[in-house]
A and B are shown apart, each in its own frame.
Chain A
Amino acid sequence: MRRLLTLASTLALAAGAAAAQDEPLRIGAAVYGLNAEFMQIWSAALEEHPAVQEGIVDVTIFDGRYDALVQQEQFETMITQGFDAIIFVPIDIEAGAAAVQAAHDAGIPVVGSNTRVNSDLLHSYVGSDDVMSGRMVAEYVLEQIGCEGNVVILEGPIGQSAQIQRLEGNMQALAECPDVTVLEQQTANWSRAEAQTLMENWLTTHGDAIDGVIGQNDEMALGAIEAIKGAGLNVEDFAIAGIDGITDALNAVKAGEMQSILQDARAQAQGALDVAIKAVKPDYEPMSDIWEQYPEMPWNDGADAEYNVPWTPVTEENVDELLAQRQ
Chain B
Amino acid sequence: MAVGTARRIDTGEIMRRYGILIAFLVLCVVLAVVNQNFLTTRNILNVLRQTSINGILAIGMTFVILARGIDLSVGSIVALAGVVSASLATMATTAMVPGGPYPAALAILAGLAVGAACGAVNGVIVARFHVPSFVVTLGMLSAARGLTLLYAGGRPVPNLTDSYRFMGNGSLWGIPMPVVIFAAVFLVAWWVLSQSRFGRQVYAVGGNPHAARVSGISVASIRIWIFVISGTLAGLGGMILAARTGSALTQAGIAYELDAIAAVVIGGTSLAGGVGRVTGTLIGALLIGVMNNGLDLMGVQSYYQQVIKGVLIVAAVMLDQSRNRRD
| Cβ-defined contact, B296 with A226, below 8 A | no
What 0/1 pattern do residues 33 to 63 of A give for CB contact below 8 A with B?
0111100100000000000000000000000
- Give B282-305 as 1s and 0s: 1 = Cβ < 8 Å from A's Cβ atoms: 000000000011001101011000
Interface positions of B (Cβ within 8 A of A):
35, 37, 40, 42-43, 46, 49-50, 93-94, 149, 153-156, 158-159, 169, 176, 241, 244-247, 249-252, 292-293, 296-297, 299, 301-302
Nearest A residue to B299 by beta-carbon distance?
A184
Q: Could you list which residues of chain A lie within 8 angstroms of chain B, going by C-beta atoms?
A: 34-37, 40, 184, 186-187, 191-193, 196-198, 200-202, 204-205, 222-223, 226, 229-231, 246-248, 251, 326-327
Please tell me if the beta carbons of B37 and A204 are within 8 angstroms of each other in the complex. yes
Is B245 within 8 A of A201, CB to CB? Answer: no
Q: A201 is contacted by which of B169, B252, B296, B301 (Cβ under 8 Å)?
A: B296
Q: Let me know if B156 and A37 touch, CB within 8 A.
A: yes
Contact of A230 among B169, B301, B302 (CB under 8 A): B169
Shortest Cβ-Cβ A-B pairs, 6 listed = A201-B296, A40-B154, A204-B43, A248-B158, A192-B245, A204-B37
- Please indicate the chain A residues that have their CB under 8 angstroms from the CB of B42 in the complex: 204, 231
Contacting pair A205 B245 (CB below 8 A): no
Of the residues A191, A205, A222, contact of B297 by C-beta under 8 Å = A205
Instruction: Determine the distance from Cα of A192 to Cα of B252 in the docked complex, in whole angstroms.
Output: 9
| Cβ-defined contact, B250 with A248, below 8 A | no
- Flag if A35 contacts B158 (CB, 8 Å): no
A40 and B155 form a contact (CB under 8 A): yes
Per DSSP, are chain A's interface residues mostly helix, strand or loop, or mixed? helix
Q: Which residues of A contact B245 (CB under 8 A)?
A: 192-193, 196, 222-223, 226
Which of A186, A204, A327 interacts with B40 by CB under 8 Å?
A204
A200-B50, A201-B296, A202-B296 are known contacts. Are A36 and B154 too (CB-CB below 8 A)?
A: yes
Taking a contact as CB atoms under 8 Å apart, the answer to whether B244 and A193 are in contact is yes
Contact status A193-B302, CB under 8 Å = no
Can you pick out 23 interface pairs between chain A and chain B where the beta carbons lie within 8 Å of each other?
A: A35-B149, A35-B250, A37-B155, A40-B155, A186-B302, A192-B249, A193-B244, A204-B37, A204-B42, A204-B46, A205-B37, A223-B245, A226-B169, A226-B246, A229-B169, A231-B42, A247-B158, A248-B156, A248-B246, A248-B247, A251-B158, A251-B159, A327-B94
Minimal Cβ-Cβ distance residue in A for B289: A197
Q: Which residues of B contact A198 (CB under 8 A)?
A: 296
List residues of chain B with CB within 8 A of the CB of A251. 158-159
What is the bound-complex CA distance between A230 and B37, given in angstroms? 17
Contact A35 B296 (CB under 8 A): no
A52 to B176, CA, bound (A): 51
CA distance A184 to B249 in the complex (A): 26
Residues from chain A with Cβ under 8 Å of B43 in the complex: 201, 204
State whether B156 touches A204 (Cβ < 8 A): no
In whole angstroms, what is the CA distance A41 to B23 when docked? 48
Residue of A nearest to B300 (CB): A186
> B153: which A residues are within 8 A, CB to CB?
40
Q: A204 near B297 (CB under 8 angstroms)?
A: yes
Task: Kindly identify which residue among B49, B154, B176 contacts A34, using a CB–CB cutoff of 8 Å.
Answer: B154
Residues on B with C-beta less than 8 A from A204 are 37, 40, 42-43, 46, 297
In the assembly, what is the distance between CA of A198 and CA of B245, in Å? 13
Contact check, A197 vs B297: say whether CB atoms are below 8 A apart. no
Q: Does B46 lie within 8 Å of A187, measured CB to CB?
A: no
Residues of B within 8 A of A34 (CB): 149, 154
Contact A193 B241 (CB under 8 A): yes
Q: What separation, in Å, do the CA atoms of A148 and B155 have in the docked complex?
A: 38
- Further pairs besides A36-B251, A187-B302: 16, Cβ < 8 Å: A35-B154, A35-B251, A36-B154, A184-B299, A186-B296, A186-B299, A186-B301, A193-B245, A193-B252, A196-B244, A200-B50, A201-B296, A226-B244, A226-B245, A230-B49, A248-B246
Known: A201-B297, A247-B156. A192 touches B247 (CB 8 A): yes
Chain A nearest CB from B296 CB (Å) reads: 4
**Beta-carbon nearest neighbor of A40 in chain B:** B154
Return chain A residues, CB-CB under 8 Å to B297.
201, 204-205
Q: Which residues of B contact A184 (CB under 8 A)?
A: 299
User: Closest CB-CB distance, A64 to chain B, in whole Å?
Assistant: 14
